[in-house]
Chain A
Amino acid sequence: MSYSDKVIDHYNNPRNVGSMDKSSADVGTGLVGAPECGDVMKLQIKVNPATNVIEEAKFKTFGCGSAIASSSLATEWVKGKTVDEALSIKNMDIVKELSLPPVKIHCSVLAEDAIRAAIGDWKKKQESAKPVAVEAR
């Protein structure tokens, strides 16, 4: 099996590698894994509280080239989108963009999971922050 040019490009020049402060209120963290191959992927988003726009995204993935490329692409795609827009990204969009072969589809599933998990984490933080804000007033 050979990787597509786009996968190789993301693999050699991964976009947005790194991490943000997990405890920050406007950062959502998703840590997910693909047990079939033992990959693990962490994706973080930083959301503007006023607009719900994802202003920054970081990832770190330990896994194969396709998993790295999928998560790298995912961070590119979520940036500039609102949280709700980002939720509409489907794994098959990633498969198409990167021309992933069938055996690597689970990598794209992982990337979608990571986006959802990060947004889920962020949403949870917003909900638990609300009562505190009311009390502060």
Chain B
Amino acid sequence: MATQGESTHSCWSCGAMRAAHFCEACGKVQPPAPADYFAFFGLPRKLNLDVAALEKDFYELSRKLHPDLNARTDKREQEWSLEQSSLLNDAYRTLKDPIRRTQYLLQLEGVELEEQSKAATEKARATGEAKKQIVPPDLLEEVFDLNMQLEELRMHKKMGEDDPALIEEIGRQKLELEEKRQALLNELQADWKTWDGLIGREQAGQLVSEDERKQARDKMVDLLNRRNYIRNLVRDVNEALEN
């Protein structure tokens, strides 16, 4: 896919110019082109990205696209700079965060998590075979057990009872969860590398099979699913311990 920066759009104001967000010749803000967030920043769909450079780009573009800056110019340009600014904010917020960036890429690549789950249930219904759970059973067990303990802790607190042993046990599990969360982030970086490798090969004009892409995507889907549980657990544990 060609990145937005390379595509040609003519400037509405001076005509026949190569520009993405602004006309390169006269600097006027262009109407937002249908672009994904990577393309908005002129980036390839790679996941390992230079966040500092992205931030720099963001601030520069926000300045240039700021609606107030264009307040006295053409009415169309005002509207476009407003639209472009809001697109810019969304794009930046999504891309700077490692998890949201990954989720967004998967979405761009056509991964529909819920659809996958529903399709698997329908298949199980049709064939009578057991549906393979997306999340490993031992993680589900862990989530369930810890939730039971948290419920117990909340009950104790409600009754005004003290249960130091339970609090200590939950605190210990909290540390484990945080380690797991960190481990997942490290694992995610490895998955990014695999994905970026595929994109790099494509950019170099090499053939990448759909199978390879799917494998790389599935690994990230699997990881994000596990991460959802860990994130919720960390949140619930913190809540239960604090209140």
Which residue numbers of A lie inside 8 Å of B, CB to CB? 31-38, 40, 42, 60, 62, 87, 90-91, 105-106, 109, 112-113, 116-117, 120
A40 touches B143 (CB 8 A): yes
Contacts of A38 in B (CB 8 A): 143, 228-229, 231-233
Nearest Cβ distance between residue B143 and chain A, in whole angstroms? 5
B147 near A116 (CB under 8 angstroms)?
Answer: no
Q: Are B121 and A109 in contact (CB under 8 A)?
A: yes
Complex formed: what's the CA distance from A59 to B177 in Å? 26
Number of interface residues of B (CB under 8 A): 28
**Whole-angstrom CA separation of A40 from B46 in the bound complex:** 33
B157 smallest CB distance to A (angstroms): 18
CA A11 to CA B95, docked complex, whole Å: 38
Quick one: which of A33, A62, A113, A120 has the most chain B CB within 10 A?
A33
Flag if B113 contacts A120 (CB, 8 Å). no
- Chain A, residue nearest B236 (CB): A62
Give B138-191 interface residues, CB cut-off 8 Å to A. Answer: 140-141, 143-144, 147-148
The answer to whether A109 touches B118 (Cβ under 8 A) is: yes
Nearest B residue to A123 via CB reads B130
| Contact A113 to B131, CB < 8 A, known contacts A35-B229, A62-B144, A106-B118 | yes
User: Once the chains are docked, how many angstroms separate the CA of A90 from the CA of B118?
Assistant: 11
Q: Given the interface contacts A31-B137, A116-B130, A120-B130, does A37 sit within 8 Å of B121 by beta carbon?
A: no
Given A33-B229, A40-B229, A116-B130, 12 more pairs with CB closer than 8 A: A32-B133, A32-B140, A33-B140, A33-B143, A34-B117, A35-B228, A38-B228, A40-B140, A40-B144, A60-B144, A91-B121, A109-B117
The 8 Å CB contact of B121, one of A31, A33, A62, A112, is A112
B241 at interface, CB cutoff 8 A: no
Q: How far, in whole Å, are A32 and B131 apart by their CA atoms in the complex?
A: 10
CB neighbours of B124 from chain A (8 A): 113, 116
How far is A32 from B130 in the complex, measured between Cα atoms in Å?
12
Query: Do the beta carbons of A117 and B118 come within 8 Å of each other?
Result: no
- Contact yes or no, B135 A117, CB < 8 A: no
In the complex, the answer to whether A33 meets B232 with C-beta atoms within 8 Å is no
| B118 near A116: Cβ-Cβ < 8 Å | no
Flag if B130 contacts A112 (CB, 8 Å).
no
